[in-house]
Amino acid sequence: MTENPVQKLYNTYPFPPDPILNEPPPGYNWRWNWITAYNFCTGRKPATDKIRILDAGCGTGVSTEYLIHLNQNAEIVAIDLSENALAIAQKRAETSGVAAKHQAPITFQQMQLENAAHLSGEFDLINSVGVLHHLPDPHKGIKALADKLANGGVMHIFVYAELGRWGIQLMQEAIATLQGEQKGDYRDGVQVGRQIFANLPQDNPLVKYEKTRWSLENHRDECFADMYVHPVETDYNIKTLFELIEASGLEFVGFSNPKYWDINRLIGKCPDLIERTKNLSEREIYRLIELLDPTLSHYEFFLAKPPLVKYNWSDDNQLSNAKPEINPCLNGFPEATIFDQEYQIVRLTPEQIEFMQACNGVNTVSNILEKMTFNLDEVRQLIRENLIILTP
């Protein structure tokens, strides 16, 4: 494989630079857990956890390690164009011990994402975080991934948003301008960028933007280079984002950070303004939200290949016959104060704890409710808060 500019960057500065541990990764990211990701997309537990997962653009393997750790029975395939990053990814999984404990095959392969067609078979879950926006042709890339997604499978995507990255865009151009013919020398680019930040007035908007948003991670040159001297980058807005999604031919399931996309958090105190939003399309509301709160630096969302049956549990009989179990991405249960799948604090009532303790995937909702003072609407509240997951 001839080294292209993006490959050269990540061979010079393998990313992300997270340390390799001799123990499993801490915490969890529910988007990398097949059960919770599928539940987000469909409202139910998947029929099986013996699936195939593709980590498309795995870098140094932080996401791959979590995918291995959180999906014990899934076959994992991780690809990346940087041989240096890929070597770290493989070492990370081996050193932490997650690979040795895994119950299914794990494969690391050097490959450009656009060439995913060369991979055998299809995948039930495809994860591609921070990759598509670094391709020369993101539309070609997302089509390549869509072609490898199994029917009824889901894809988790993360791409940059332009409004929240205005300072990055300006600094990228400033560094490139000062580098001149040395553009493409990434170590020189990092040096130039650090000199700029060190010498700009402290009240300069770019300095303040860097300090408030990115400085904690950018003390590492790998992070600084990925942010400020990347040779290929496409930043999106709602219009161009959905053009990318439409190019995939897949169904947009939803943003995986839905609280940001709630218009009520911004103008909900003004009934007149909320009334005016009723005349807007879903995408117009999304655009309004990012205009009114332009802090968003990336979009994260799920796509699906039909058929994907969805459950909302509004039917009492359907809910009564469902079998609930605890969301696997909770921390602290059965204590009264726990962390939910977003790692946000949730305080449970004694009745909620009692119900959840009976959620073993065998008892039906009606079986559990026979023995306690709890009702279907209270069960639905646990569903909305992603505290329990149901099997129809």
Residue 298 bridge partners (DSSP):
160
DSSP state of 364: -
Which pLDDT belongs to residue 1?
Answer: 61
DSSP state letter for 230? -
Render pLDDT for 166-185 as a digit per residue (tens, 0 to 9). Answer: 999 999 999 999 999 999 99
Query: What's the pLDDT at 2?
Result: 77
Residue 360 has what DSSP assignment? B
- Give the residue ranges of the chain where pLDDT is below 50: none
- DSSP state, 46? -
Q: Is 150 exposed, middle or buried (0-12, 13-18, 19+ CB in 10 A)?
A: middle
Q: What is the pTM of this model?
A: 0.97
The predicted structure's pLDDT at residue 3: 87
Give percent of the chain with pLDDT exceeding 70. Answer: 100
Q: At what angle do helices 186-199 and 166-179 cross, to 10 degrees?
A: 110
Domain 5-15+26-162+235-260+296-304: homologous superfamily in CATH:
Vaccinia Virus protein VP39 (3.40.50.150)
**Among the residues of the chain, which ranges form H helices?**
5-12, 34-42, 62-70, 83-96, 98-101, 138-147, 166-179, 186-199, 205-213, 215-218, 221-228, 238-248, 264-267, 271-277, 282-292, 316-321, 350-357, 365-369, 376-384
User: What pLDDT shows up at residue 9?
Assistant: 98
What is the DSSP secondary structure assignment for residue 294, as one 8-state letter?
T
Domain ranges of the chain: 5-15+26-162+235-260+296-304, 164-228, 316-391
Edge to edge, the sheet with strand 298-304 lists: 106-110, 75-80, 52-56, 123-129, 149-160, 298-304, 251-255
